[in-house]
Amino acid sequence: MKREFLQNLTVEGKPLSKEVIDAIMAENGRDIERTRAGFSDYESLQQQVLQLQEQEKQVKKDFEKQLDSVRFESLVHSAVEHARGRSVKAITALLDLQALQESENRQDAVRQAVEQLKKEAAYLFDEETPPPYAWGTGAKEQHFTNTPDTLAGALKEKFERK
C-alpha cells in the first residue's frame, strides 16, 4: 500500500489525518515484515526438504549396495554348500570374490569358480561316494556274537538248552 493512496482517501469528505495514515502504514509495514519472515522460513524449509531428499537417495543407494552384497554372499555360500564344501570360510578365502561380484552372470561364474577350486583343492570338499557300508542301505551288518538272527532261531536255542 502506498502513502499517496491513503492521502487521497477521504471519509465523509474529509482527508485522513497524518496520525491515522502513519498508524495504517506502520501496521502495513509489520504485515510486510511478517510475510518476509514467513517467506524466508519457507525458503529454509525448502532447502531442508532438498537436503533430506538427497540423504534419502544416498540411504537408498547404500541399502541397495548392502542388499547386493548379502545376495552375493548367499549365492557363494549356496554354491559351496551344493558342492559339499567342508568349510565355507576356507573356500571363500581362496575365491576371487571381487572378480566374481563384478561378473555379468554371477551365478554361473561362482559355480564355475567353485568347481575349478574343487578340482584344484579336493581336500576342501567331501567325497561324492558314500562309504561301503552305511546304515539304512539294506546291506546286513556283520555280527560277531552267537545270538540268533531270527525268531525261530531264538526259540530253538531256548528250548534246546533245557
- DSSP labels, 121-156: -GGGB--SSPPS--TTSSPPPP--S---SSHHHHHH
Q: Which residue has the cell 569358480?
A: 113
Q: Which residue has the cell 558314500?
A: 130
Q: Name the burial class of residue 114, with classes exposed (0-12), middle (13-18) and buried (19+) by CB atoms within 10 angstroms of its CB.
A: buried
For the chain, give the percent of residues with pLDDT over 70.
Answer: 86
* Coil, strand or helix at 141: coil
pLDDT tier for residue 152 given thresholds of 50, 70 and 90: confident
Average pLDDT over residues 93-103: 89
The secondary structure of 36-56, three-state, reads HHHHHHHHHHHHHHHHHHHHH
> Across-strand partners of 85?
125
Length of the chain: 162
State which H helix or E strand residue 148 sits in: none
Q: What does the pLDDT read at residue 77?
A: 94
Phi (first) and psi of residue 133, to 5 degrees: -125, 130
Calculate helix-pair angle for 18-82, 106-120, nearest 10 degrees: 40
Rank 35-39, 106-110, 141-145 by mean pLDDT and report only the highest: 106-110
The beta strands (E) that lie in 21-123 are given as none
Task: Break the chain into its structural domains and give their ranges.
Answer: 3-127
pLDDT, tens digit (0-9, with 9 covering 90-100), for 119-132: 888 888 887 665 56
Q: What does the pLDDT read at residue 111?
A: 92
